[in-house]
Chains A and B, each alone.
Chain A
Amino acid sequence: MLLQVKNLHVSINGKEILKGVNLEVNKGEVHAIMGPNGTGKSTLAAVIAGKSGYEITQGEILYNGKNLLDMPPEVRAQEGIFLGFQYPVEIPGVSMTNFMRTALNEIRKYHGQEPMSAKDFLARMTEKKDLVELTSKLTNRSVNEGFSGGEKKKNEIFQMAMLDPQLAILDETDSGLDIDALRIVAHGVNKLKTTENATVVITHYQRLLDYIVPDFVHVLFEGKVVLSGGKELALELEEKGYDWIKKETENH
C-alpha cells in the first residue's frame, strides 16, 4: 500500500477539523476527494504534505509503510509526495528554472543520484513545458509571480511533471481553469500516470472526472470520509448535492 491514513484527528488552534479520517491509496490508482467547502479537504492534503501549524491528536499516516508524521516536508517530497496547491504561492526573485533545478537535484541527492546535467535538465524542462503547454515566458519568470490563476494551476502540473512524484495530491487544480486549460491539465496528469504511482484529486466538479477518471470517489464531510464509491458517486453528487449525505450521516 502506498498511502494509509488511519483514524486521523487534526486540530487547528484547539478546534478539531479532521475527526477520524481513513483513506487507503494503492499504486496505480486514481482517487477523487469531494465534499462541501470547509470540510477539511485542504487540511488533509496539507497534513499529508507536512505543513506546520496542525495538531495531530490521534491516528497515523503511513507512506510505503513508513511513518510520515515524523518526516519534515522536504523529506516527504523527496520520498515522492507532491502537493498541487489550491493557492500556489508567489515567490518573487526565485526563478522557475533555479527553483526546479534545485528541487530536482535535492531529490536526486536524497536517492543517492548525481545532480542532473544542465543539458539533461534543459531537455526535461522543454519536454514538460510542452506537456502542459506552458510558455517559456512563464518559466523564465519568478515562481508564480504575476501568473494568472489558470497559469498558476498549469504551473503546478508542470512542477509535478518535472519532479515525477509517486503520490500526487492535486488540491482543486481544476478550479479557475478554462475548458481548454482543463483538458490540457487533465491530459498532463493522465500522461504522467503509471502503474507505480497514484493520484489524489480534490475537486468540486464532476467535470474534471470526465477527463481524469477516478477508481474511487470519497466524500469528506465535516472532517470524516462518510462515503466512498466508484466514479458514479461523483455523478450522483453532481445531481443531488450534499444535502442527502447530511441526512444520511444524521441518521447513522
Chain B
Amino acid sequence: MSYIEIKDLKKIYEMGSIKIKALNGINLNINKGELVIIVGQSGAGKTTLLNIIGGMDSASSGCLTIDKQDITKFNNKKLTKYRRHDIGFVFQFYNLIPNITTLENVEMAKEVALDPFNARKILKLVGLEDRLNNFPAQLSGGQQQRVAIARALVKNPKLMLCDEPTGALDFETGKNILKILQAMSRNLGMSIIIITHNHAIEAIGDHIIHMKDGLIYNEYYNENPQNIDEVEW
C-alpha cells in the first residue's frame, strides 16, 4: 500500500447552474519519500488537489488515504491536527507573519508541533543564520521563501506541500529554493509535492504528474532524478 492513495477524487464547484469540475476523478498513488512534481496549465486543478491533500480543503467525492487514514472522512478537528502534525505548506507568496522576526516565524510553527527540529538549525540549513532577527519586510523574496520553507520544515512534517514555491522568484533564487527542497527529500527522506508551471523542473523529481482539466493525463517516474544544479531553463 502506498503512502498516499487517491481514488476517483472529485472537486466540483457549483456556481448557480454552472458546475466547475476543478478535479474530475483523480487516481494517484504516492510513495513515502518521493519528490513529486505536478505540472499543468493554469486552471488545471493543481492547487485544488494540493489543498485537499493538505487538509485545507475538502473533496466533493472520492477517497484520499494518507498513512492508511482516509482524510476525506476527517472532521475539522482532526483535519487541524493533521495539518499540525503531518503537513508543511509552502506558498507562492510566502505568507509570513509580518510582525515577527525570521526566528520567531519559525518558532511560531514549532510551538504547535509534536517533534520539532531546532529552529536555529533549520534556519542555518536554509542559509539564513545571519538574518534571525530580521523582520520579513527586511528580507528579499527568496529569503522570505526560505523562511517559509524553514517554517514548514521545523515541524518535522511527514509531507511537504509546495504550491509554486519559485513562482515569484528569479531563476537563481528559484534554483536555490529547489535545491533546499531536493536536499530535504534526499537527506531526510521527506515526502515532498511541488507544483510548478515549469517543465524543466520535472527533471529533479522522482515522480512526475501532468494535469489538465481536473485530470491526470500523464504520469511517470524518473529512475535517476537530476541534481538541480544540472538543470537549466
Q: Tell me if chain B binds chain A.
A: no
